[in-house]
Amino acid sequence: MTIDSSVLIQVEAGVAWLTLNRGAQRNALDIPTLKYLHVLLDGFNSDPTVRVVVLTGSGRSFCAGADLAEWADAQARGALESYGWTETAHALMTRLHTLDKPTIAAINGTAVGAGMDLALCCDLRVAAQSARFKAGYTSMAYSPDAGASWHLPRLIGSEQAKRLLFLDELWSADRALAAGLVGEVCADEQLHTHVTELAARLANGPTFAFAQTKTLIREGAARNLPEQLEAELAAGLLCGRSADGAEALRAATQKRPPRFNGN
In this prediction the pTM is: 0.93
Amino acid identity at 64: A
pLDDT for res 142: 86
Question: Could you read off the pLDDT of 205-249 as tens digits, one per residue?
Answer: 999 999 999 999 999 989 999 999 999 999 999 999 999 999 898
pLDDT for res 48: 94
Query: What are phi and psi for residue 236, nearest 5 degrees?
Result: -65, -35
As a whole number of Å, the end-to-end CA separation of the chain is: 29
Indicate if the pLDDT at residue 79 is higher than 90. no
Rounded to the nearest integer, the mean pLDDT of the chain is 93
pLDDT for res 1: 47
DSSP line for 6-45: SEEEEEETTEEEEEE--GGGTT-B-HHHHHHHHHHHHHHH
pLDDT for res 4: 65
pLDDT for res 254: 94
Is the torsion defined by CA of 85, 86, 88, 92 positive or negative?
Answer: positive
CA distance 85 to 74: 10
Containing 97, the helix (H) or strand (E) segment is helix 85-97
Contacts of residue 52, defined as CB under 8 A and 6 or more positions apart, other chains included, come to: 14, 15, 16, 101, 102, 103, 104, 199, 202, 203, 207
Does domain 7-203 fall under CATH 3.90.226.10? My reply is: yes
CB 112 within 8 A of CB 131: no
Nearest to 212 by CA among 197, 196, 228, 198: 228
- In the chain, pLDDT over 90 holds for what percent of residues? 83
Question: Could you read off the pLDDT of 156-188 as tens digits, one per residue?
Answer: 999 999 999 999 999 999 999 999 999 999 999
Nearest to 113 by CA among 92, 131, 137, 95: 137
Indicate if the pLDDT at residue 78 is higher than 80. no
CA distance 65 to 168: 14
Question: Could you read off the pLDDT of 86-132 as tens digits, one per residue?
Answer: 999 999 999 999 999 999 999 999 999 999 999 999 999 999 999 99
pLDDT for res 83: 78
CB 97 within 8 A of CB 118: no
